[in-house]
Amino acid sequence: MEGTTLAPIAQCPDCKRLNEVLSRVGDRWSVLIVASLSQYGVLRFNELKRNLGISQRMLSLTLRELERDGLVSRTYHPTIPPKVEYALTPLGESFREPVKALAMWGLENLETIDAARATYDAAAEKLPKSA
Amino acid sequence: MEGTTLAPIAQCPDCKRLNEVLSRVGDRWSVLIVASLSQYGVLRFNELKRNLGISQRMLSLTLRELERDGLVSRTYHPTIPPKVEYALTPLGESFREPVKALAMWGLENLETIDAARATYDAAAEKLPKSA
DNA sequence: AAAGGGTGGTATATTTTTGATACCGACGAT
DNA sequence: ATCGTCGGTATCAAAAATATACCACCCTTT
């Protein structure tokens, strides 16, 4: 049943745009990788892996996406232990600002959020639907 | 084999913190809901649903999380068609800024990203691993 | 009065995403 | 000669997102 009264999704263009943006670079690993490269400048595959605690698969996938989207550059050195270096492109550098804004907000408000959670959970404790 | 040289995850405290932040409010729907409430002020459940094109389940879940984290307030009006209104709390309001920064960056760079993608994909076309 | 619609959800099933694991070739160290 | 490192890929299981159906409630329409 697709023909219901449902509106044609995303009335506000801004939401639609934002949705697109977030679909591209809005996942945790992308942001984390950019933040990491932002801090250390140039990192190799396994350095990122160790630094972030990400699985090889997700790192590989996410790096390729970031490279595809032009935020990260990949430099392959055909030395004998092969060496691949990742760094931010200018576009990636420009992404540092919003990420920083997000991080700042988070750092400032993590405790507030934790407190709100505790309050909410405590209140929920008193209303068990059963038992 | 856990005892390898693997570092104990998240060497840089900033990444760890950022990770926490993103675990809380870093998913697409949370950001989108905040953005939507930010634009319209107060919205009801089904208004949000229609506006965002989100499934009921995800909307319900995400709203509850946002409420739990203190970013969104939920007001239940026991009228006869039950009416539930959602709005941003002061904390939620403060989250508008980083979201706005993100949205701005996205709007400014979506085309650049698309172009980078096109270039990348075109280059990849020429190196088919098989066939 | 019976049928259908809108309200804010929940329960269940299906699909998509993520993550863990094993493996690869090439080489250096033990 | 076996092990480990490098940067991945292939495979499979677990988790999350989504779609769908359904609920009680009442109102409107027929």
User: How does pLDDT run across B23-78, given as a tens digit for each residue?
Assistant: 888 899 999 999 999 999 999 999 999 999 899 999 999 999 999 999 999 999 98
Residue B1 lies in a domain: no
Tell me the residue length of chain A: 131
Q: Which nucleotides of C are covered by protein (CB under 7 A)?
A: 5-12, 18-22, 25-28
CA distance A54 to chain B (A): 9
Q: Report the Cα A104 to chain-centroid distance in Å.
A: 15
Let me know if residue B17 belongs to a domain: yes
pLDDT band per the 50, 70, 90 thresholds, residue B19: confident
Domain assignment present for B2: no
Test A32 with B23 for CB contact under 8 angstroms.
Answer: no
Q: Tell me the angle at which helices A96-125 and B96-125 cross, rounded to the nearest 10 degrees.
A: 120
Q: What is the pLDDT of residue A11?
A: 58
Tell me the C-alpha distance between B121 and B129, whole Å.
14
A123 interfaces chain B, CB cutoff of 8 Å? no
Confidence of residue A120 (pLDDT cuts 50, 70, 90): very high
Q: Taking residues B115-123, what's their average pLDDT?
A: 94
Q: Is B99 helix (H, G, I), strand (E, B) or coil?
A: helix
Three-state secondary structure of A39-82: HHCEEEHHHHHHHHCCCHHHHHHHHHHHHHCCCEEEEEECCCCC
Nearest to B51 among A11, A17, A24 (CB): A11
Using the CB atoms, write b or e for A118-131: b if 16+ within 10 Å. eebeeeeeeeeeee
pLDDT number for residue A127: 59
**In this complex, do A50 and B110 lie within 8 Å of one another by their Cβ atoms?**
no
Which residues 2-61 in chain A show a CB within 8 A of chain B?
6-7, 9-12, 14-15, 17-28, 31-32, 35-36, 39, 50-53
- Residue nearest the C1' of C17 (CA based): A58
Residue B131 lies in a domain: no
The answer to whether position A3 is within a domain reads: no
**Domain residues for A115?**
13-125
Q: How many domains does chain A have?
A: 1
State whether residue A118 sits within 8 Å of chain B by CB: no
Phi, psi torsion values for B75, nearest 5 degrees: -120, 120
Residue carrying structure tokens 């977030």: A22
- Structural domain contains residue A1: no
CATH number at residue A91: 1.10.10.10
